[in-house]
Amino acid sequence: MADATFINRIEIAPKADADTRLYRDPVEQRLRALSYTILIVGAFVMALPFFWMVSTACKAPTALNTLPLEWIPSNPMCIENIGFLYERSPRFNQYLVNSAVVTIGRTLGQLITCSLAAYGFARFQFPGKNILFALTLGLLMIPFQAILIPEYLLLRQFGWLDQFSALIIPGTFSAFAMFLLRQAFLQIPLELEESAMIDGANPLQILWRITLPLSQAAVAAFAVITVQAAWNDFLFPLVAAGTNPDVRVITLGLSLLQGERSTPWNLLMMGSFLATVPMLILFVIFQRQFVEGVSMSGLGGR
């Protein structure tokens, strides 16, 4: 019994020593330290503008141009600046609500249209399928500014200018969202859908009850990307509904804080911070699904 224990120690020791040497390899330690250093520096550089926005939002007007720069205001005025912001922009809450309405409308619209189109391209065979799919992806290569004027003329002919329909309906389809969902649908085994079809489910029921629930990561990534794009959109709302304060979104409301001769940067940064909070909460909640879905979008195509 003792001999067997001694032999086992001899067999296990070399492997343990190899793992220890691999872990203590100086080159590996340097590379790991370099990687962490680069990541920390990159994270700091990315977070620096946000910290500066928060710092400026809590400064008094007299402290905006003082030198040396103060990252932490000596006399913070966060609550006071919120009050001044609402005095200068009484419709600020309405702008937030309008942005939420537009964002929800676009997201739900894209979920319906893009999921149907993605399921069709992923599962059905029809003449010209590949050509139509290539033309759809070709929309990603066309700059939005190139179609802005024709889209404006169409909205004017439909009578949708300065209405929520002008802000929501044109944004209810996205070639990128369709491609993202298609890639996710292609990774779902056909056997699951065939089993449901044998049980009497039609393609629409299969999509909503099987395919979409099994693509939660891609759907979460699609939702985060769509919500962020709709919430931060500025140019199209400016053209389609920039003259109607009742449908004005938060990006347009923030632009109105800029003056011709002077700009209250502390109020502008406070408004920007309040407009950023919903996106931060959304990303914190869905950050894992967002990363998984984006990684999934480049795999499984056929």
Residue-wise pLDDT tens for the chain (302 aa)? Answer: 445 554 444 444 455 454 555 455 788 888 888 999 999 999 999 999 999 999 999 998 888 877 777 888 888 888 999 999 999 999 999 999 999 999 999 999 999 999 999 999 999 988 989 999 999 988 888 888 899 999 999 999 999 999 999 999 999 999 999 998 998 899 899 898 889 898 888 989 999 999 999 988 888 888 888 898 999 999 999 999 888 889 999 999 999 998 777 888 999 999 999 999 988 888 888 777 666 655 655 444 44
Q: Where are the domains of the chain?
A: 2-57, 84-296
Q: Which residues contact 164 (CB under 8 A, 6 or more apart)?
A: 98, 101, 102, 105, 241, 247
CATH code of the domain occupying 84-296? 1.10.3720.10
Q: What would the pLDDT profile of 236-257 be if each residue is shown by its tens digit? A: 999 998 888 899 999 999 999 9
Q: What is the pLDDT of residue 26?
A: 80
Judge whether 149 and 186 are in contact, CB under 8 Å.
no
- Element housing 232 (H / E): helix 216-232
Hunting for tokens 């779902």 — which residue is that? 188
CA 240 to chain centre: 23
**Rounded CA separation 125/115 (Å):** 16
Q: Do the beta carbons of residue 85 and residue 92 sit within 8 Å?
A: yes
Token match 């996710």: residue?
A: 184
Q: What are 17's two structure tokens?
A: 């020593």
Residue 168: how many other CB atoms lie within 10 Å: 20
